[in-house]
Amino acid sequence: MKPSILCHERLDRIQRVLACVGGDASMRDLWRRWQIYDWEIEQAGQLGWVKLYTRKPSGRGRPSRRVELCGGINAKLPLPRRMIPRFISYRHEIFAMRSVYQAVPRGIHQLGVPGVIHAYLAVYHPKSRKAAHASCSRLMKNPDVRAARQWFYAKMNGEVPRGESMPRTREEIRLKLAEAGSWRARYIP
């Protein structure tokens, strides 16, 4: 999942849309017609590419928030999309935690289910057991899940302080484990 950070490509789209409508539009219109989010416009305003202001009607009615295209002379360019790190999905994090903490080595003895499959069943609720086996084996190869599992293994073994929460990206997990002196940092892809 990408964080809510304005990227270079979305800034280009905002500029193209504003140029198409004459350089001035309401935030509501930008959302309804072109699905440009408010946080994108506000971040573009903070960087100096657009100007935000409130226009009050002369008579009755409510004020509208307007966006005006600026020249962007001294404005900073945001990072390209490929340079923004991806956050680890919440479901991937929960699956990694369950597969480390709650799955016993031999799995559930009564049902004959391996531990990681039981963790997958608890998190994703698949329609069939065979689908769970196939999807779980694919998910265990995911680099985000592998990094999160290494974090939870290190936390379970006391290599990471107890009160510390899991970082949101793979690179942050690798750096935190390396700072803690854990050998698990080598195995994060």
Are 30 and 95 in the same domain?
no
- The DSSP bridge partners found for residue 53 are 66
Are 134 and 110 in the same domain?
yes
Are 61 and 148 in the same domain?
no
What pLDDT score was predicted for residue 113? 66
> Which positions of the chain have pLDDT values less than 50?
none
Residue 150's domain comprises: 90-187
Are 94 and 79 in the same domain?
no
| Phi, psi angles (nearest 5°) of residue 47 | -80, -15
**Residue 183 domain-assigned?**
yes
Alpha-carbon distance 139 to 93, whole Å? 11
Kindly report, residue by residue over 154-175, the tens digit of the pLDDT.
998 889 888 888 999 999 999 9
| Domain count of the fold of the chain | 2
For the beta sheet containing 50-55, the strands, ordered from the edge strand earlier in sequence to the opposite edge, are 24-26, 64-69, 50-55
CB 16 within 8 A of CB 42: no
pTM of the model as a whole: 0.71
CA angle 150, 153, 159 (to 5 degrees): 100
Are 149 and 122 in the same domain?
yes
Where among 58, 83, 108 does a domain terminate? Answer: 83
CB 123 within 8 A of CB 102: no
**Residue 98 domain-assigned?**
yes
Alpha-carbon distance 141 to 127, whole Å? 21
Could you say which DSSP state residue 86 is in? Answer: P
What pLDDT score was predicted for residue 2? 60
CATH number at residue 71: 1.10.10
Alpha-helical (H) ranges within the chain are 8-20, 27-34, 38-47, 90-101, 115-124, 129-139, 143-156, 170-179
Are 181 and 102 in the same domain?
yes
